[in-house]
């Protein structure tokens, strides 16, 4: 799977760790930055990841900032993106199963890098259930 990966300064260390773990699992990683711990604006990286997923340069996106909230809010402004703020196993799994989320968001000030990696693994491995959830997802996409 091709994964677009991005963070701001708060999520930088988690992103760096996650990039290597994703590659070790055989994923192709498109790292859109940031490249340092220097203060930066999270919307810049959320939009890069969201556009990569919406434009089909990536199958899924992963975003990490301080809380994950700003990344999710920004990514969800891009048509075709369904970004989920994931805080535990249930949100990582159900974001995929019921909402067909295509961008995972998390906070490095809320979760450890290892915990984020474990949740990303669940998110990437979980299929969309389809069925009764499909009309609901279409309604989300039509909201743009």
Q: Output the six-digit token pair for 120.
A: 């990303």
Contact status, residue 87 vs residue 72, Cβ threshold 8 Å: no
State the Cα–Cα distance between residues 73 and 65, nearest whole angstrom. 12
Residues forming the active site:
65, 98
CA 81 vs. chain centroid, Å, equals 10
Specify the DSSP class assigned to residue 126.
P
H helix runs in the chain, sequence order: 12-24, 42-54, 69-75, 89-97, 113-125, 134-142
Count how many Cα atoms sit within 13 Å of the Cα of residue 45 in the half-sphere of its side chain: 30
């Amino acid at each position: 799977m091709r994964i677009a990966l991005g963070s701001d300064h708060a999520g930088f260390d988690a992103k760096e760790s996650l990039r290597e773990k994703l590659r070790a699992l055989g994923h192709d990683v498109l790292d859109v930055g940031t490249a340092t711990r220097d203060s930066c604006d999270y919307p810049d990286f959320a939009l890069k990841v969201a556009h990569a997923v919406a434009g089909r340069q990536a199958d899924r996106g992963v975003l990490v900032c301080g809380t994950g909230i700003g990344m999710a809010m920004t990514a969800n402004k891009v048509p075709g993106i369904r970004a989920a703020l994931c805080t535990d196993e249930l949100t990582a799994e159900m974001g995929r199963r019921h909402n067909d989320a295509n961008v995972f968001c998390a906070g490095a000030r809320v979760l450890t890098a290892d915990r984020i990696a474990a949740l990303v693994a669940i998110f990437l491995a979980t299929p969309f259930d389809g069925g009764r959830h499909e009309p609901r997802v279409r309604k989300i996409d039509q909201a743009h």
